[in-house]
Amino acid sequence: MTMAQRRSIEIEGLTHLAAIPVATRIGPLVMSSVIVSFNPGTRDIPETTEAQVANIYIYVGRILDEAGAAWGDVAKMDFWVPSNDVRPEVDAVWKNHFPDEASRPSRHIHVTGKFVKATVMAYVGD
């Protein structure tokens, strides 16, 4: 059995302090590590959840680009938000990226923590 080659994905503006990449691609599968809503190039969290959500989507877009994927390849996203009040902000941008109700990725919102975080999983087909 041969294993698909693993490729670490790094993007501008977001890094981890541990020895892990922002995301990994193995064959057609792209999986992120936790994506924190830091302001690009810093460890500072924006004061508003709207800005935090915007940062998440910016980083996911960069991860997808670097992995050779697109928004249409996203299979699932998980969000961690400080309260259910953030759902409309997540939904507004979500609907822009995935306007077709018949073709949206899976998603789960966890209400926990002090700021917005996310993960993304994508499958890059032929």
pLDDT, one tens digit per residue, over 4-60 is: 799 999 999 999 889 999 999 999 999 999 999 999 999 999 999 999 999 999 999
Q: Is the pLDDT of residue 63 over 90?
A: yes
Q: Give 125's pLDDT tier (boundaries 50, 70, 90).
A: confident
Check if the beta carbon of residue 22 is closer than 8 Å to that of residue 14. Answer: yes
Q: Is the pLDDT of residue 1 over 60?
A: no
The pLDDT value recorded for residue 4 is: 73
The pLDDT value recorded for residue 44 is: 96
Could you give all domains of the chain from N- to C-terminal order, each with its CATH number? 6-123 (3.30.1330.40)
Residue 49's closest CA among 84, 89, 109? 89
Question: Residue 111 half-sphere exposure, CB side, CA atoms within 13 Å?
Answer: 5
The pLDDT value recorded for residue 74 is: 98
The pLDDT value recorded for residue 3 is: 66
Q: Report how far apart, in Å, the C-alpha atoms of 106 and of each of 75, 80, 85, 119, 122 are.
A: 6, 15, 20, 12, 11
Q: Is the pLDDT of residue 126 over 80?
A: no
pLDDT, one tens digit per residue, over 90-99 is: 999 999 999 9
Residue 69's closest CA among 11, 3, 2? 11
The pLDDT value recorded for residue 27 is: 94
Q: What does the alpha-carbon distance between residue 86 and residue 76 come to, in Å, rounded to a whole number?
A: 19
Q: Report how far apart, in Å, the C-alpha atoms of 12 and of each of 48, 52, 76, 98 are.
A: 22, 17, 23, 24
The pLDDT value recorded for residue 85 is: 96
